[in-house]
Structure 1
Amino acid sequence: MDKVMEQQGEELSLEAMFQRLEETVGTMEREDLSLEDSFALYHDGMEMLRRCSKKIESVEKQILVLDEEGETHEFER
């Protein structure tokens, strides 16, 4: 169902992406998984990690930090 929503242009939440990563890892840990399926799952997992990272960076750019003087400024790493 998530893939259908993604194809329609709707963005998954971070929580949904992390859940999907957990499911992917769980599937990859199965002993009866073929090598081809393992590679496909690895590729999907790496793509999901890339999307998570991009989304986190986007959120970080929106965070404002309150300093000791009560002034706000953008979050910096």
Structure 2
Amino acid sequence: MTKKNDEKELTIEEAFGEVDEKIKALEKSDVSLEDSFKLFKEGMDLLKYCNDSIDKVEKKVQKVMSDGQTEDFE
């Protein structure tokens, strides 16, 4: 879900774009209940991925701000 076809991780922007596509698909009146659940789950998985990615960036920023060093936070 969070991988592109060539197995590279999605960027946050790409993931949010996919969430937007899921929302648009859910808004259509001809979507079956089963497809609605599938789209909802995929959207939620994408949002979790986005949230986790944002948290990682936030921790890196906090680390840089706290000690002035530019090292990755893992």
Please tell me the TM-score bracket, short chain as reference.
0.7 to 0.9
| Stretches of structure 2 lacking an aligned partner (at least 5 in a row) | 68-74
Q: Could you tell me how far apart the structure 1 residues matched to 2:5 and 2:63 are?
A: 37
2:5 corresponding residue in structure 1? 4
Matches within 5 A, 1:14-53: 14-53=12-51
Specify which structure has the higher proportion of strand. 1
1:52, CA displacement in angstroms?
0.4
Specify which structure has the higher proportion of helix. 2
Q: Which structure: larger Rg?
A: 1
Q: Percent of aligned positions with the same letter in both sequences?
A: 35
Of structures 1 and 2, the one with the larger relative CO (CA 8 A, separation 6+) is 2
Q: TM-score, normalised by structure 1?
A: 0.74
Q: Deviations over 1:10-45 (max 9, x none)?
A: 111110001000000000000000000000000100
1:69 corresponding residue in structure 2? none
SS in 2 for 1:32: coil
| Stretches of structure 1 lacking an aligned partner (at least 5 in a row) | 67-71
